[in-house]
Every structure is written in structure tokens, then in C-alpha cells.
Amino acid sequence: MEKKIELLLSSSPFLKQQEDTPAVMRQVIYSLLPAAAGALWFFGISALLIMLTAMLFALLTEGVYNKLTGRANTLRDGSALLTGLLLAMTLPPGIPLWMVALGTFFAIAIGKLIFGGLGSNIFNPALVGRAFLQASFPVTLTTWVAPGNGLSFMQWRSAAFTLPFVREKVAAVSTATPLSMMKFEGQLTPFKALFLGNSAGSLGETSALLLLLGGIYMAARHYINWRIPTALFATVIVTASALHWLNPETYAPFWFHLFSGGLMLGALFMATDPVTSPVTHRGCWLFGAGIGLLVVVIRTFGGLPEGVMYAILLMNGVSPLLNRIAQPPIYGDPAKFKKNEAHNE
């Protein structure tokens, strides 16, 4: 006779695209892998240890926080892991690991969790962690070792295992980044070194090529909004070229700005963080352009050689405002028709 079947009641739609938020996070992490591999190539095991430490402490911080506050397990969404890796990419290869751990803790706890976790933070967590470290340990954060430097993969770039708060002697083989060479010595690094990554800098700042590979993949798969980096690059090109045209002696050409320092990493992986960027396409155009302008201004006229981090953090703060002013008209928006009527009269 009649079989008993249990019918589920829920609300339409019953079709769903398959890619969920953890999958998106995983894809962004994969997109970072070429640049991460580049970091290993240039900086050896130090880079690996920094990345692993950051990722471990990111998970640890969020896991412990969840336990203490009785929240559900959020580690599976992959965002903590991504924040850890992103932060690692912004750090200099010679940084002691305890600083990495501390910075990661700050990034996750203060940058994200106290705002309410994933989706609620105003500022990019990885950059919050990096800003904290920069403010706390300015010397270490601006001490760079040259890539390769004749060391083999297994050789430490610095005293990675220094105990916390022991004043460490700055690594002997320190060098200047292309940006500081430009700023303080007026010396321009050749294009090829910048593009391929054979220049001093943070783990993920060296090879523009490898970052671009990841960025193009993400844009093609719609993991990032291509309008942000496009607007950013365009603004940098225009403003830097204008300055260079005014005075080629003092101001670097646009390609130098584009491919040096954290610009590629910032433009493709940080500014595009959906949580902290605007929710409309118009807003994203303005957001990217704002960052580009600030980067050139800070780099050229500010006291620091690099300005990507502050440019993005500042624009993060502006993005709620951009959401407000850049709402596109909806289908059948009455405003459109008023305009037409006025036109007809």
C-alpha cells in the first residue's frame, strides 16, 4: 500500500550554485601560492617558517576565541588561514617568529574578531596586523635582506628564533628596498628586477609577475572585483606619469610605482577583500582610484618610502561612505523617468 515518505518543507529557490564561501577562500589562497612559492625561492626556509607561523597563530587565535566566547567553529570558513598567509606576505624575511605570532594575534583578534568576526570588520585584518607590527617594531619591519644573497635554501635569513623582546642585532646583510633607494638616494631599480622579483622587500612584495598570475586568475573567476585593481593601477599610472613628466629627476616613472613595494600585493589581494571594499561597482571604481592616488601621494610626499598599507586602510574607512553615495539606480527607478519627462518637455 501507500509508502510513507517524509516530505521536506522549505522555501524556494531549490537550486543553488555549488561554490560556497570556504571554497572561495580556498581559491584565493591557491591564487597566492605562486607568489608564496616565489617567496620560498627568494628567501628560503625563513619565508616558509614565517608563513607557517602566521597561519598557525591565525587559526589558534580564532579557535581559542571561539572556545572562550562559545561561538560556533568558524575555522572551516578559511578566512583565518587566508588572513595569516596574507599577513606573512607583507612581512620582511628577517623578522623574528615571535613578532609574526604577535602580529597575527593582533590581526585576527583586533582586526577581525572584536568587530564580530568574518564579514563585520571595517579594516583589512592582515593590514591591521601589519600596521600594528610596523608601529611597534619599526626597525625590524624596515630591515630587509636581499633575495638570494648567496644563501642556500636551508640557511636562516636572520635570527628567526630570537626570544621575545630581546633587542636583537640587526642582521648583517641588510639592504634597502627599491622604494627606499628611490626615496632616499634617488636611485631607480631596473624594471626587470622589479617585475621578476629579484629585489629586496617583504615576502610577497618581490615578484609582480607571480602576483599578477594569481590576480588574473581571481578576476577571471570573479573572486575579486576587477574594477578595484583596474582603477587603482590607472590612477597610479596617471598621477605618477604626471609627476614624472613635471620633474623626471625627482619623481619615478609609473612602472616603478606599479611594480615596486607592496602595490601589486595590495592592489590584487588586499584592496579586493570584499568585506572591506564597497558593495557597488561605482563604489569600487572610486575606492580603487582613491587608493592609487593615496599611494602615489604618500610615496612621493610622505615621510615613508611605502604607502600601500596606509592607503588601503584609509580607504577601508571610507568604504561605508562610498556605499552610501554610489548606489546605482534600480530597474524602473522613478528618477530615470523624471529625467526623461523633463527632457520631453
Partner 1 sequence: MGLFNTLPTFQRGIHPGDFKDLTRHLPIERMPFSAELTIPLSQHLGAPSKPRVKVGDTVQRGQLIAEPGGFVSIGQHAPVTGTVTAIEPRPHPTGRMVESIIIATDPFSPQTFYNEHPMDWEALSPRELISLIQHGGFVGLGGAAFPTHVKLSVPEGKHARFLIVNGVECEPYLTSDHRVMLEEYDDLFYGIRILQKILDVRQVYIGVENNKEDAIEVLRNHVPDDMACEVIALETKYPQGAEKMLIEAVLHREVPSGKLPIDVEVVVNNSGTITGIGHMFRFGQPLIERVVTVTGPGIKRPANVRVPIGTPLTELLNFCGGITDDTRQILFGGPMMGAPQARLDVPILKGTSGILCLTENEINVREEYPCIRCLRCVDVCPVGLNPSRLGALAKSRDYEHMLDFHVMDCVECGSCSYICPSNIPLVQRFRVAKGLLREQQARNKAS
Asked if 342 touches partner 1 (CB under 8 A), the answer is no
Asked if 337 touches partner 1 (CB under 8 A), the answer is yes
Q: Which of 327, 333, 230, 218 minimizes the C-alpha distance to 280?
A: 327
When binding is defined by CB under 8 A, the residue of 68, 83, 334, 342 that contacts partner 1 is 334
When binding is defined by CB under 8 A, the residue of 30, 37, 64, 120 that contacts partner 1 is 120
Asked if 113 touches partner 1 (CB under 8 A), the answer is no
**Nearer CB in complex with partner 1: 4/169:** 4
User: Whole-number minimum distance, CB 4 to partner 1, in Å?
Assistant: 11
Cα(244)–Cα(265) distance, integer angstroms? 23
Grid-cell match 515518505, residue found = 5
User: Whole-number minimum distance, CB 324 to partner 1, in Å?
Assistant: 10
In contact, 275 and 82? CB cutoff 8 Å:
no
**Nearer CB in complex with partner 1: 20/317:** 20
Asked if 16 touches partner 1 (CB under 8 A), the answer is yes
Residue 169 main-chain phi, psi, to 5 deg: -70, 135
Residue type (1 letter), 214: G
Residue type (1 letter), 20: D
**Nearer CB in complex with partner 1: 70/303:** 70
Asked if 15 touches partner 1 (CB under 8 A), the answer is yes
Q: Which of residues 48-87 bind partner 1 (CB under 8 A)?
A: 77, 79
Cα(277)–Cα(275) distance, integer angstroms? 6
When binding is defined by CB under 8 A, the residue of 1, 5, 154, 342 that contacts partner 1 is 5
Q: Which long-range contacts (CB under 8 A, 24 or more apart) does 24-28 make?
A: 24/223, 25/77, 25/78, 25/79, 25/81, 25/82, 26/78, 27/218, 27/221, 27/223, 28/82, 28/218, 28/223, 28/224, 28/269
Cα(111)–Cα(132) distance, integer angstroms? 10
**Nearer CB in complex with partner 1: 227/299:** 227
Asked if 331 touches partner 1 (CB under 8 A), the answer is yes
In contact, 264 and 212? CB cutoff 8 Å:
yes
Cα(300)–Cα(219) distance, integer angstroms? 29
Asked if 6 touches partner 1 (CB under 8 A), the answer is yes
Q: Which of residues 205-224 bind partner 1 (CB under 8 A)?
A: 222
Would you list the DSSP string of 108-167?
A: HHTTTGGGTSTTT-SS-HHHHHHHHHHHH-HHHHT-EE-SSTT--TTS-SS-TTPPTT--
When binding is defined by CB under 8 A, the residue of 44, 94, 117, 215 that contacts partner 1 is 117
Asked if 8 touches partner 1 (CB under 8 A), the answer is yes
User: Whole-number minimum distance, CB 130 to partner 1, in Å?
Assistant: 21
**Nearer CB in complex with partner 1: 192/333:** 333
User: Whole-number minimum distance, CB 121 to partner 1, in Å?
Assistant: 10
When binding is defined by CB under 8 A, the residue of 207, 225, 235, 239 that contacts partner 1 is 225
Cα(258)–Cα(88) distance, integer angstroms? 21
- Footprint on this chain of partner 1 (rule: CB under 8 A): 3, 5-17, 19-24, 77, 79, 117-120, 222, 225, 274-275, 277, 279-281, 323, 327-334, 336-337
